[in-house]
Amino acid sequence: MHIFIDESGSFTVPSEAKKPAVSAVGAVLLPSLQTPQILAEFKKLSSAWASENGEVKGRLLDEAQVDRFLGFLADCGGLVECTAIDLALHRVSEIRHHQEIQARKITANLTSEHHPNVWAGARALASRLRRLSVPGYVQLVSYSALLEAILREKTMYVVQRRPDDLGTLAWTLDAKGQPITEMESLWSFLVKPFLQSSSLQNPMAHLDWCDYSAFDRAFQSDREGLPDYLAAHARPSPRTRKSVLDINRLLADLNFAASQNEPGLQMADIATNAIRRMLVGNLQESGWRRLARVMVQPERGSEVVHMIALTNQPRSWARSPYISPLRTIRAEALPMVAG
């Protein structure tokens, strides 16, 4: 698969929480062999749409154009994944507390047996994490959650329909600067141990009747060859196999690119912006309804858009105005299990 990732929203906590303040990170996933043709056809489709410096922007499109784009994406076999956060339900102090906890975890398992250079490197990482701005930290968490959702859910969907497509995972993210920003640099480093630990403690679901051979050859490593510092975190599970997900191999083809030169990122921008506009009430149903054709039905009790929270306070979003469109899409979304 080719996976294009972009974001939408300011990722800031509003001074007054009178309405949803949603920010989102989203991905468009395309079949590998068809990606060049899909991108070429998208350029033709969008050639007459409003643009900014020659780049198609989702926020400039009306409902009819968004609807046409989603229909095009569905016809191409494309998928959309999205992680969102409502910062109207958060306080800066809560996010900073979450940030501090994560920074402490970086050095939590180090002992006197570790080399001083290891201590120095871990402390430097923790310090960098603490120095991130609140928007930067929220972005970092949102990007990590998005990648985990893609690995846990979209691979399960694709393996039932296009198993060979899992032999290649090419990740392209929208670069916000040249060189990349501090958040992007830090995230690129921290996402690997985060995903590796998560995959060991909570292994990905495995569908016994599916052909994982392409995925396994590309991204699995022998469990017996795990280094001690990883083996200590591997939990026995009925889903555990003889091999483990090798995050270094899985993210080997991860790149930041300028969106004005990459139509796949412009597609991700349109999809992510449409979801955020839907959640805050700025996109009518005629614009978002066909999201159901490119999103997969989640587990029972979940939504098609992963709404994350950086607080333990019982401040639910379930009565927010966006619950209605989310449930409409969930009811009509693509079934996870192939018929």
Rounded Cα distance between 203 and 245, Å, is 9
Closest CA to 303 of 84, 26, 9: 84
pLDDT along the chain (339 residues), means of 10: 97 89 97 97 96 93 98 98 94 96 90 87 94 97 96 94 96 90 95 86 84 92 56 49 76 95 97 97 96 94 89 67 90 92
Instruction: Report the relative pairing of strands 51-52 and 170-174 from DSSP bridges.
Output: unpaired
Residue 270: how many CA atoms within 13 Å on its side-chain side? 32
Q: Whole-prediction pTM value?
A: 0.92
Find the distance separating the first CA and the last CA of the chain, reported in whole Å.
Answer: 22
Rounded Cα distance between 244 and 223, Å, is 6
pLDDT value at position 239?
A: 43
pLDDT value at position 204?
A: 80
pLDDT value at position 232?
A: 53
- Six-digit token pair at 289? 């309804």
pLDDT value at position 222?
A: 67
Closest CA to 263 of 24, 77, 31, 55: 55
pLDDT value at position 240?
A: 45
- Six-digit token pair at 70? 């989603």
192 within 8 A of 248, measured Cβ to Cβ: yes
Closest CA to 322 of 284, 282, 280: 280
Closest CA to 40 of 329, 293, 262, 308: 262
- Six-digit token pair at 257? 């690119």
107 within 8 A of 123, measured Cβ to Cβ: yes
Q: Where are the alpha helices (DSSP H) in the chain?
A: 35-45, 63-75, 92-108, 116-131, 134-149, 155-159, 182-201, 213-219, 228-231, 247-250, 263-280, 285-288, 323-332
Closest CA to 200 of 159, 230, 158: 230
158 within 8 A of 165, measured Cβ to Cβ: yes
Rounded Cα distance between 334 and 95, Å, is 34
Rounded Cα distance between 319 and 89, Å, is 12
